Structures are given as structure tokens and as C-alpha cells.
């Protein structure tokens, strides 16, 4: 699996667990507000990927301190050997949380069927009418809707989340997003971090606003 980063300890990424966060390399979206822009390219020219075995050696040593592993990105469901990675991490006794943009429901379905994931967090980035504008690509609406329904009906812990980017999302947009969340599923709005936004104009616009 192509791994672009590792956060060795987090108390905020996996609810109720001390966890390591593994960042996969490569994403099919180009969200203007993305703060992990270096993880977008599938085959980066200037990026030293972390060997998978190093991750497993680290997890082996940290069993006493950690109980969870978060697999984030990038977009993890693009990784062809994701299932093998999850199986091995699970065999070490770790609980696994997946962060996803929801673009590949067939991968989510198989992970759930095999019981390889314990928690799923999916981003609902915008109302579907402006999803393309937010993600910078032609977004697969049917797949996103399928993923939302699949996760909501999975029976495992899950949440939907939205990054609140003032220049891109209006109050009306936020109300529409709330209505997109299935009844009974948890949803949270998370703070936008402008300092590393993929679109430099977002960094500047927030900085200028803060100076006023």
C-alpha cells in the first residue's frame, strides 16, 4: 500500500481510542480547501513513501499504548491492497477506522461484508448541486449517495462530517447538508484550517479577513 504519512499518536481521530493515523498516498478529488495536498498525487515525484513493513513494525511495538489505527488519506479506497492491510492490522488486535470521501461504495461494501472495519467517517463536502465546484472534479453523485446509505445502514460506528469553508459554503448550503444526513447518523461540522489549503486564494482570503 502506498503510504504517504504517519501520525504516531492521536486522541482525537478515533473516538474513544488512542490511535495511530496512517495516511495513504493518492486522491481522486481536488478539494480547494484540502490541507493534505501533498497526498493527492498517486505517483508523486517528490515524496518519500513510507514502506509498509515500517508501519507494521511500529504498530507491533506500540500495542501497549494504542488500541486503534485510522486509515486516512488521500483516499484509502483507491489502494488495491487495502484489504490485505486491514486484515493484517486487525490480526494484531487493533480496531480500525476508515476516513473516506465515499466515492467507492463497492470497496466499502466489501470491507463491511468481511468485517474488516470498525468505524467509518465519510465527508459530505457540499450539497450535490455544487459538489463538483467544491471537489474540483466531476463528482460521482450516485456513488456518493450509495456510500451514505451503506454506511448509515451498516450497523457499525460511523459519522458524517463537513468542513465549513466560509468562502465556499453558505448558511443555506450547510442546512442542505444537514438534510443529506440519514436519520440516526451522527454528523459534525469541522473547522477549516486555511494555512495549508490547496487553493492559495483560500489561504489569502482567510488571512485578509482576520486582519480586518
Q: Higher pLDDT residue, 201 or 147?
A: 147
Question: With 80 as the cut, is the pLDDT of residue 93 above it?
Answer: yes
Q: What is the pLDDT of residue 210?
A: 47
Measure CA of the first residue to CA of the last residue in the chain; give whole Å: 45
3-state SS assignment for residue 63: coil
Q: What is the pLDDT of residue 207?
A: 47
The reported pTM is: 0.94
Question: With 60 as the cut, is the pLDDT of residue 205 above it?
Answer: no
Q: What is the pLDDT of residue 44?
A: 75
Question: With 50 as the cut, is the pLDDT of residue 211 above it?
Answer: no
pLDDT digit string, tens, across residues 121-171: 999 999 999 999 999 999 999 999 999 999 999 999 999 999 999 889 999
Question: With 50 as the cut, is the pLDDT of residue 212 above it?
Answer: no
pLDDT digit string, tens, across residues 34-91: 999 999 999 876 568 999 999 999 999 999 999 999 999 999 999 999 999 999 999 9
Helix 141-152 crosses helix 105-113 at what angle (to 10 degrees)? Answer: 20
- Find, among 81, 110, 102, 111, the residue nearest to 27 by Cα: 102
Q: What is the pLDDT of residue 45?
A: 64
Domains of the chain: residue spans and CATH:
3-211 (3.20.20.70)
Q: What is the pLDDT of residue 196?
A: 85
Q: Which helix (H) or strand (E) holds 176?
A: helix 171-180
Which range is least confidently modeled, 20-34, 128-142, 194-208?
Answer: 194-208
Amino acid at each position: 500500500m502506498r503510504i504517504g504519512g504517519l501520525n504516531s499518536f492521536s486522541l482525537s481521530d478515533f473516538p474513544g481510542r488512542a490511535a495511530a493515523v496512517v495516511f495513504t498516498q493518492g486522491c481522486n478529488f481536488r478539494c480547494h480547501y484540502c490541507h493534505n495536498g501533498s497526498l493527492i498525487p498517486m505517483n508523486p515525484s517528490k515524496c518519500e513513501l513510507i514502506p509498509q513493513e515500517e508501519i507494521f513494525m511500529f504498530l507491533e511495538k506500540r500495542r501497549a499504548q494504542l488500541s486503534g489505527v485510522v486509515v486516512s488519506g488521500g483516499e484509502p479506497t483507491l489502494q488495491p491492497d487495502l484489504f490485505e492491510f486491514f486484515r493484517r492490522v486487525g490480526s494484531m488486535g487493533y480496531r480500525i477506522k476508515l476516513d473516506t470521501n465515499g466515492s467507492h461504495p463497492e470497496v466499502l461494501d466489501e470491507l463491511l461484508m468481511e468485517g474488516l472495519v470498525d468505524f467509518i467517517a465519510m465527508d459530505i463536502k457540499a450539497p450535490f448541486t455544487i459538489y463538483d465546484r467544491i471537489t474540483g472534479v466531476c463528482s460521482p453523485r450516485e456513488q456518493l449517495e450509495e456510500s451514505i446509505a451503506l454506511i448509515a445502514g451498516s450497523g457499525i460506528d460511523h459519522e458524517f462530517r463537513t468542513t465549513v469553508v466560509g468562502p465556499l459554503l453558505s448558511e443555506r448550503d450547510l442546512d442542505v447538508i444537514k438534510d443529506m444526513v440519514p436519520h440516526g447518523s451522527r454528523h459534525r461540522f469541522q473547522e477549516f484550517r486555511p494555512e495549508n489549503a490547496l487553493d492559495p486564494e483560500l489561504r489569502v482570503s482567510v488571512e485578509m479577513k482576520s486582519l480586518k
